Structure 1
Amino acid sequence: MPEFDSIVIGSGLGGSSAAAHLAAAGQRVLLLERYSVLGGSSHVFRRQGKWEFDCGVHYVGDCGPGGQIPTLMRGLGLDDRITWLPLDAAGFDTVRGPDLEFRLPADWDGYEANLVAAFPQDATGLRRMVRILRAIGEPWDRDRTPATISAQWSWIRKTGPAAAFAALPVISLFTMCGLAPRTILALSVHCGLLGSTPTRATTALYAVLLHNYVGGGAYYPRGGGQALSAGFAEVTASHGGTIRRNAAVEKILIDNNRVRGVRLAGGETITASSVVSAADILRTFRDLVGHEHLPLPYRARISQLKMSLPFINAYFGIEMDLSTAPNCNFFAIPTWDDATSLLKLANMQRTLLGGAGFADGEQWARRVAARQPMFVQSSSRRDPAHAAAAPAGHATVEVQSIVPHRPRLWGVDGYDIDGHEYRNDRTYNNVKAILLEGMAQRMEQAFPGAGSAIRFCELATPATQERYVGNTCGAPFGLDVTPTQIGPLRPGTRTPVEGLYLAGTSTAWGPATEGAMLSGRQAASAILGRDLSAEVRDGAVLADPSKLTAWPSDFDALRSASSQLDKTA
């Protein structure tokens, strides 16, 4: 008899969600995490005993009453533990550039009005664009639409004539609406939230992204992203599941096209009837499964998959009170020099985001530092009661940007990323220093005065993401959202190997936080042969709330997710 009913590889939000749903349904579950802290890209970290930074959860859409994720949490009995703090509904995002500022409200009509006011010369085209985006985004159900081809066809019928734009890159929509290059650049910044660019991201996913926030509002979990994985872990452990950290999986064991369990890096073998891999999808099939276990058509399909762009993340601790600052994110555009023509916009993407045309990494970094738009947000501002975030009168700020995965530019070419040696490379450190200075300038653009108030700073690169989380090319959002990689055209939960399932941002429900959590529930549904989504929508609570441990008022999600969890409850 197998030791476990199911083994889940990876404690990111997809894997943690899968483990919690399986444990709540009565399965004997083992959740394996290669790192010392649960959460994958959603975990937080602390520095100098006074700063806490959120790696990946910056804001989540549609978390009001009846929203997708609050409903999912209610189904696990976590609705009294996970509290969603709203960002400013009148402007949860602010796009700020030289002589420009416009806010994105949680209202489609207000969004259109703000756009027209900011770019009056493009008023006609913007109104047409908003109609198309709204027609595409509103009918898409993040849980059900990606699940099947039939659900996709149902969505297409509901979109009407706008469906003609859905599979096109969003740059096509912008140009067909006759928008000026400057307007296009301002609209394109949100493609970064998909880990993509306007020439790669489909209009469909861009519309779904916007509707998630414009139609459903923007929220942040109280206690930071770590609260989400801590909640899932609480359900898993309290319902008899086992959680092991520092447990890297070396191989998924397969016999006669049937999963038998896993082998850990130290040689330990653990048996199970089912395995859910929420690890990086390309590494899952290349390293954990092995292409020899895949039928040729599926192997060919996997070989064609393309990852999204990686990110750089700058973390700043500043001696500055942001409690009265706008409760919103900023997209800081430093210059319009690359928005004087469509040709210059294309060249900007080829050079800054593609890394082409530079003799070395430092030359590329200087250009990015001077010209690349970036995302700026403050977790301590949106959750001011979270005392661990920053000392009183201080704040944390995160600055983020998509970048190319070009090891030569970064100075890490030839290094084993799983080791630490690349961190001593001169080019690597010079590139980091140049980028960090540019990111501090974007922070100053969002929060004037912050640049001279820096008391701590650190930069995470694609190599950092790859080393800690195991993402191919350091891409935290998994597969890119190109026309051939959206919805049911992405890998589903089932694979050709019997008993092997997938979860995470590279599945049909990805990318991003919401998609990862929904994919975990879908994987559990496939294993159990039940439609857990339908059950929860109908009011079912899958977990037994009486088994859950009460969280004290000073509950520390990071401590919970990094200690006293390597056991069966």
Structure 2
Amino acid sequence: MGTGTQGAGGLRDSYDAIVVGSGIGGLVTGGYLAADGRRVLMLEQHDVAGGNAHAFRRRRKYEFDVGMHYLGDCGPDGLIPTILSGLGVRDRVRFLPMDNEHGFDRVMTPTATLDVPAGWDAYADRLRQALPEEADRVDRFIELATALAAVNRASLTGDSMAQLCRRFPEAMRWTRRTLGQALDHCGLSAKGRTLIAAQAGNYGSMPDGVGFAEHVNITDHYLRGAYYPEGGGQALVAAFVEALEAYGGELRTRCEVRRILIENGRATGVELTDGQRISAPLVISNADYRSTVLDLCGGEAAFPAGLVARTREATMRNAIVSVYVALDTELPALPNANIWWHGSDDMEGAHAAMLERYARDGSMDTVSQLALFFASLRDPGAHAVCPPGHSNFQLMMNCPFGYDFWGVPGGPVHGEPYRRNPTYLARKRQLTEAMLDTAEKILGPFRSRITHVETATPLTNERYIRAGGGTPYGMATWGGTARRPDVRTEVEGLYVVGQNVRYGSGIGGVATCGIAAASRILGRGLFAEAYTGVVLGDASRLPERAPDWDPLAVSRGQARRRAKGLAGIG
């Protein structure tokens, strides 16, 4: 294993593996490599680890999750608990169940309210009740979906492609088709399609733009039970950071990579923006895939021309706008559930009309779909979420993709000083007011009780996460819908993880791709091993947590844990 000598900033000049970016995918991969005894360096350009799973604080009273809205499959043998268990940190994260019996997601349209419970059978019953005239079509869809869910689960526990084809010949035919094609096949109405695909905000695409397998995988993930990590999303991130560092790895925040070094077709390390070069025979990029291929690796200098062209031509999934709201009062009685509100029974038609209006006259003054996530209901009484008697929630909606919508020629990665641009500010104000208006239609008046409101746009996301075009969902097309790259690349020693790879969107998807990458590198079925109780590394090396343990401080890495600028909760 490499040791190397120390250079500027205390970094060694060589490691066994370098992880570029510290989203959940990178944290999982890096943690498992460190637990195997590899000397791992994780580099993060932001102030804190976590990627879209990180949190931020305001007014010393409120902590807002950026993208950790809820998690699925967190029971004793669930996906994320299993991945944590393999690193010895399962007991460091407690998962709080949402209302899995009555409904963890509430879908609202003008003519229907659907409360989504845990379990495929219960979910199917609710769909039939909401769509009595389409019960046979619902059954057809559920039959297809549950068969594909079984394929997804079997692949996770180690079945090869050949084994999957033998065990699930019919379902395998649907792995390359879209959700839209499945809905067409089952003959569902516009309303039926809307109720089934209402939570499209979990992957950022209308039915024709997402693979059926991905939709099923995410649905199955939540139907195994919906949860939220106690203490917020940063608590989950911090557990992975603790594992990485306890097993000898290093996390360096505010440390940006300029390029990934490649010589003779293999990765050899990275160069930082300050010019320092660090060598390693393994590089795992948790950066945006297009940025990895086209910028960090130099495009055709490292990859086949066809792959580079496909990556240049790739389109991205929907961009989003998020409004973070705090109130000095509790919300009226609500279930412990997210709300997915749709202003039309035809979600796809409403989305197309929104894009048409914008293309015609640039208007964006109405909201056709809105998602609402309530941190103060998911983790009631949490010290960091909000003071007692207050509320903390997030509003989220799709918006047209691209910089033109915001009146700027480029984004933060291009050095564009967008934050004072008058067109950008006007658009941001317009959408904020429209989203708050819509939320008051759903929740009742609350504006007079607002103590903090803040809006994040795709440019905000690009600034902090460096996601391509600001979308947290990755690529929509990469040489075809539902086609995405694998974790292993054409460059020897270079792997990719994150929202763009074939394991799908969301925390569950990126955690899966992280353990898949580590499994490829180590030549072991790590998830299957962790599922049976195998723990890599020595869990006795994990640090004790002091009474004032702060997951946000932990997520800055040991080198910057006490650096100035960390927001606290008073």
Same fold (TM over 0.5): yes
Matched, 1:453 2:455: no
Residue 330 of structure 2: aligned partner: 321
Residue 557 of structure 1: aligned partner: 551
Superposition pairs for residues 389-538 of structure 1, below 5 Å? 389-414=385-410, 416-417=412-413, 419=415, 421-480=417-476, 484=480, 486=482, 489-538=483-532
Cα distance in 2, alignment partners of residues 420 and 165 from structure 1: 42
Distance 1:442 1:564, change over 3 A: farther
Distance 1:440 1:223, change over 3 A: same
Cα distance in 2, alignment partners of residues 469 and 10 from structure 1: 9
Residue 15 of structure 1: aligned partner: 26
Deviation at 1:123, TM superposition (A): 2.4
Letter in 2 for 1:70: P
Cα distance in 1, alignment partners of residues 257 and 414 from structure 2: 14
Matched, 1:5 2:16: yes
Decide which moves more: 192-201 or 177-186.
Answer: 177-186
Matched, 1:126 2:138: yes
Out of 250, 264, 270, the position equivalent to 1:262 is 270
Cα distance in 1, alignment partners of residues 267 and 172 from structure 2: 40
Deviation at 1:184, TM superposition (A): 2.3
Out of 182, 187, 203, the position equivalent to 1:178 is 187
Deviation at 1:164, TM superposition (A): 4.8
**What's the Cα RMSD here?**
2.5
Cα distance in 2, alignment partners of residues 201 and 322 from structure 1: 34
Residue 359 of structure 1: aligned partner: 361
Decide which moves more: 434-443 or 395-404.
Answer: 434-443
Q: What TM-score comes out, normalization by structure 2 length?
A: 0.90
Letter in 2 for 1:515: G
Letter in 1 for 2:83: L
Q: Deviations over 1:388-424 (max 9, x none)?
A: 1111101111111222212112112246555462111
Distance 1:349 1:158, change over 3 A: farther
Contact 1:317 1:454 (8 Å CA) reproduced: yes
Residue 342 of structure 1: aligned partner: none
Distance 1:212 1:498, change over 3 A: same
Letter in 2 for 1:457: V
Decide which moves more: 107-116 or 389-398.
Answer: 107-116
Residue 80 of structure 2: aligned partner: 69
Deviation at 1:455, TM superposition (A): 2.0
Cα distance in 2, alignment partners of residues 324 and 551 from structure 1: 35
Cα distance in 1, alignment partners of residues 251 and 131 from structure 2: 52
Number of residue-to-residue matches in the alignment? 548
Residue 51 of structure 2: aligned partner: 40
Distance 1:172 1:485, change over 3 A: closer
Q: What TM-score comes out, normalization by structure 1 length?
A: 0.90
Decide which moves more: 533-542 or 191-200.
Answer: 533-542
Cα distance in 1, alignment partners of residues 185 and 128 from structure 2: 17
Cα distance in 2, alignment partners of residues 209 and 481 from structure 1: 19
Residue 125 of structure 2: aligned partner: 113
Letter in 1 for 2:245: A
Deviation at 1:313, TM superposition (A): 1.0
Decide which moves more: 415-424 or 204-213.
Answer: 415-424
Distance 1:203 1:492, change over 3 A: closer
| Other structure's SS at 1:326 match | coil
Decide which moves more: 474-483 or 258-267.
Answer: 474-483
Deviation at 1:265, TM superposition (A): 0.7
Superposition pairs for residues 52-451 of structure 1, below 5 Å? 52-90=63-101, 91-141=103-153, 144=156, 151-152=160-161, 154-159=163-168, 161-214=170-223, 216-291=224-299, 292-322=301-331, 325-336=334-345, 339=346, 347-352=349-354, 357-360=359-362, 363=363, 365-367=364-366, 369=367, 372-414=368-410, 416-417=412-413, 419=415, 421-451=417-447
Contact 2:61 2:387 (8 Å CA) reproduced: yes
Contact 1:354 1:403 (8 Å CA) reproduced: no
Contact 2:320 2:396 (8 Å CA) reproduced: yes
Letter in 2 for 1:435: L
Deviation at 1:549, TM superposition (A): 0.9
Distance 1:199 1:470, change over 3 A: same
Contact 1:189 1:373 (8 Å CA) reproduced: no
| Other structure's SS at 2:16 match | strand
Decide which moves more: 404-413 or 448-457.
Answer: 448-457
**Unpaired segments ≥5 residues, structure 2:** 5-13, 562-570
Letter in 2 for 1:140: N
Cα distance in 2, alignment partners of residues 98 and 350 from structure 1: 18
Q: Deviations over 1:334-379 (max 9, x none)?
A: 344xx3xxxxx6553334257752322xx1x213x3xx21111111
Deviation at 1:450, TM superposition (A): 3.5
Cα distance in 2, alignment partners of residues 511 and 264 from structure 1: 28
Contact 1:143 1:518 (8 Å CA) reproduced: no
Distance 1:49 1:96, change over 3 A: same
Deviation at 1:263, TM superposition (A): 0.7
Deviation at 1:64, TM superposition (A): 0.5
Cα distance in 1, alignment partners of residues 114 and 478 from structure 2: 28
Contact 1:443 1:450 (8 Å CA) reproduced: no
Deviation at 1:316, TM superposition (A): 0.5
| Other structure's SS at 1:366 match | coil
Deviation at 1:137, TM superposition (A): 1.9
Decide which moves more: 464-473 or 432-441.
Answer: 432-441
Contact 2:94 2:230 (8 Å CA) reproduced: yes
Contact 1:191 1:201 (8 Å CA) reproduced: no
Deviation at 1:446, TM superposition (A): 4.3
Deviation at 1:483, TM superposition (A): 9.5
**Unpaired segments ≥5 residues, structure 1:** 340-344
Distance 1:450 1:96, change over 3 A: farther
Q: Deviations over 1:83-112 (max 9, x none)?
A: 111111120100123342110000222212
Distance 1:220 1:504, change over 3 A: same
Deviation at 1:224, TM superposition (A): 1.2
Contact 1:202 1:483 (8 Å CA) reproduced: no
Deviation at 1:68, TM superposition (A): 1.4
Cα distance in 1, alignment partners of residues 496 and 113 from structure 2: 42
Contact 1:138 1:211 (8 Å CA) reproduced: no
| Other structure's SS at 1:4 match | coil
Cα distance in 1, alignment partners of residues 400 and 131 from structure 2: 30
Letter in 1 for 2:84: M
Contact 2:221 2:508 (8 Å CA) reproduced: no
Letter in 1 for 2:254: N
4+ runs of 1 displaced by more than 6 Å?
A: none
Letter in 2 for 1:491: P
